[in-house]
Amino acid sequence: MKKLAICCIWSLTAFLVLQPSAFAQKLYAYKNADGRLVITDKPVEKSKKRKYKLVDTFVPKTVRAKEAAQVRARRSKGKSLSHEQLEGLVFPIAKSMSVDPDLVYAVIQVESAANIKALSSKGAIGLMQLMPFTAERFGVTNPWDPRQNIRGGISYLRYLLSYFEGDVDLVLAAYNAGENAVDKYGGIPPYKETKRYVKKVRRYYEQKSHPYDNTAKRKSKLVARKSEERKQARLASAE
């Protein structure tokens, strides 16, 4: 599994090390020619635009309340992990569970921007924004602990990858809205938040499919139906 290298370029200090009170008005996320994620408080110079592709912009906590309300996770006072700290926590856990670290980094970026004290209006906690019932489901006793939070979030991703047989879009939709909602609607639920969430994470993680194991004791009925439809289509074309 390839190890993700995250490069943070700042005019003064690395983004993830800053306290929320020091955040810039607007942040820019780019991918360079090597596919590495670069986060900066200033747009890339025109002369370098060929080397960097803009994938997202986002607004930190210290902007006015109207703008901050658009940010999903509320940033309470507390530190954000540096990219070295985040990588040190994510990579060994993701590797041990056969989950692509790049997928985990993408989820963390959208969920909390690496803020260990992030708390959503719905009660989702920490780096991977675990709901209390999800934390309990995957054996997390303290969701505010970064290591436990990451382990719980990756465990959930691993389960969803198995449940949806590696379909990344369905996995992300389920991480946001729950696997039952995805099954109920036969795909990404028609929720604005969920659609927006999937789109944001996919800006950072472009793979459509992901290897999976048999972590889930049962499989999604949606995936089973699609598999059967493909099977019938192959049989029909062979006749």
Is 239 among the catalytic positions?
no
What is the C-alpha separation between 131 and 111, in angstroms, rounded? Answer: 12
Instruction: Give the mean pLDDT per block of 10 residues along the chain (239 residues).
Output: 40 35 56 71 70 68 41 54 90 97 96 92 93 95 96 98 95 96 93 96 93 82 71 71
What is the C-alpha separation between 50 and 32, in angstroms, rounded? Answer: 9
pLDDT in the model for residue 26: 63
Residue with tokens 């986060």: 39
pLDDT in the model for residue 156: 98
Q: Do the beta carbons of residue 177 and residue 196 sit within 8 Å?
A: no
pLDDT in the model for residue 103: 97
Q: Is 186 left (phi over 0), alpha (psi -120 to 50) or beta?
A: left
pLDDT in tens, 6-21: 444 333 333 333 333 3
Residue 30: φ, ψ to 5°? -125, 160
Neighbour count for residue 160 (Cβ, 10 Å)? 26
pLDDT in the model for residue 83: 83
pLDDT in the model for residue 107: 97
For the stretch 32-35, contacts whose Cβ atoms lie closer than 8 Å and that sit 24 or more positions apart, written own/partner, are 32/7, 34/5
The structural domains of the chain, ordered by start, are 6-225 (1.10.530.10)
What is the C-alpha separation between 27 and 238, in angstroms, rounded? Answer: 53
What is the C-alpha separation between 231 and 223, in angstroms, rounded? Answer: 12
Burial bucket for residue 95 (CB in 10 Å: 0-12, 13-18, 19+): middle
Residue 193: φ, ψ to 5°? -60, -45
pLDDT in tens, 180-220: 999 999 999 999 999 999 999 999 999 999 998 887 877 78
Q: Do the beta carbons of residue 78 and residue 116 sit within 8 Å?
A: yes
Which DSSP string corresponds to 55-93? EEEE--TTS-HHHHTTSSEEE-SSPBPPHHHHHHHHHHH
pLDDT in the model for residue 25: 53
Helix, strand, coil share (%) of the chain residues, nearest 5: 45, 15, 40
Catalytic residue, chosen from 111, 165, 193, 206, is 111
